[in-house]
Amino acid sequence: MIKVKLYFENSVDSDSLVNDLRGLPEPIRPVYFAEDEGKIIKANVLSDEVRFHDFRKANPTGFFLYAENKVLFDVSTRRVGYAEVTLYLTEGLPSELAVTFFRSLAEHQPVFGFGCDEEEYKHRHRYYITIGKNHIEDWIGRNLEKYVSGVYWYTLLSDGLLKQHGVKLADLSIEAVATETLGDGSLHLLKFFEKPEDWQQNAKRLDDLCERVNGVFSRRFVEAAVAGITDYLKYDEAIAHWR
């Protein structure tokens, strides 16, 4: 499955955001709304404006949207950090629909975004370690307040985020196979390899890129920080910055 995500300032107009989602191409156009993931109620159709309005009032911080083919959107707003919209593309759909998603929401000035195979995302941000008899799993490197969280199959970068972390666009785009400017010119969509399933053969190249560009998260920083640690409390202290 392909995960496509955009981060927005919390001041984003969520009503306008949802309206633009409703204008997406048919394969990924949301039709139903839901409070719980995986539970579609056929009566909860977006075209029922009154019902959806009441639902939004009851769920101000987030909800799910579904297309007819069960393509899922996770919409999270009014939360600490950033508003987020995540699209999960099911197998069999053209992977380039990820680009359509980016272009369709560019006018809302996303701060950051990415599209990648879920396994690539885990490679970048899921960390496993065994300490004694304990098998520990952590999510790492996803805090945009601390760094650019990484590069992926597709990576959308705003001038604001690049400036915040002192990252030069040219230092990243040199490894891209294609680049595109979106919106008002302050958004940059970088494609780092052709197909999402090609991530493994490109993993080292992008890992090297993340490590050498200051202001970009690299899991190698975490590996170096916890190397040789055999005590859980020391591990927890060492990895705290990267959670």
Q: What is the pLDDT of residues 9-31, one digit of tens each?
A: 988 888 899 999 999 998 899 99
Among candidate residues 107, 115, 95, the one with its CA nearest the CA of residue 23 = 107
> Residue 206 and residue 222: Cα distance in Å, rounded?
16
User: 211 and 226 share a domain?
Assistant: yes
pLDDT of 65 > 80? The answer is: yes
CA angle 172, 75, 222 (to 5 degrees): 40
**Residue finishing a domain among 110, 125, 153:** 110
User: 240 and 163 share a domain?
Assistant: yes
Give the pair of three-digit tokens for residue 203. Answer: 């993993």
Domains in the chain: how many in total? 2
User: 103 and 176 share a domain?
Assistant: no
Structure confidence at residue 14 (pLDDT) = 87
Q: What is the pLDDT of residues 175-204, one digit of tens each?
A: 999 999 999 999 999 999 999 999 999 999
User: Is 63:75 a contact under the CB 8 Å cutoff?
Assistant: yes
Structure confidence at residue 99 (pLDDT) = 96
Question: What is the residue type of 222?
Answer: V
Read off the pTM. Answer: 0.93
User: 106 and 39 share a domain?
Assistant: yes
User: 217 and 120 share a domain?
Assistant: yes
* Rounded average pLDDT over 84-102: 92
User: 26 and 72 share a domain?
Assistant: yes
* Rounded average pLDDT over 38-52: 90
Structure confidence at residue 79 (pLDDT) = 62
pLDDT of 117 > 90? The answer is: yes
User: 117 and 227 share a domain?
Assistant: yes
Q: Percent of the chain scored above 90 by pLDDT? A: 76
Structure confidence at residue 78 (pLDDT) = 65
Structure confidence at residue 53 (pLDDT) = 92
pLDDT of 80 > 80? The answer is: no
**Domain assignment of residue 21, given as a range:** 1-110
Q: What is the pLDDT of residues 139-164, one digit of tens each?
A: 999 999 999 999 999 999 999 999 99
> Residue 136 and residue 128: Cα distance in Å, rounded?
6
Burial 37-75 (b: 16+ CB within 10 A, else e): eeebeeebebeeeeebeebbeeeeebbbbbbeeebbbbb
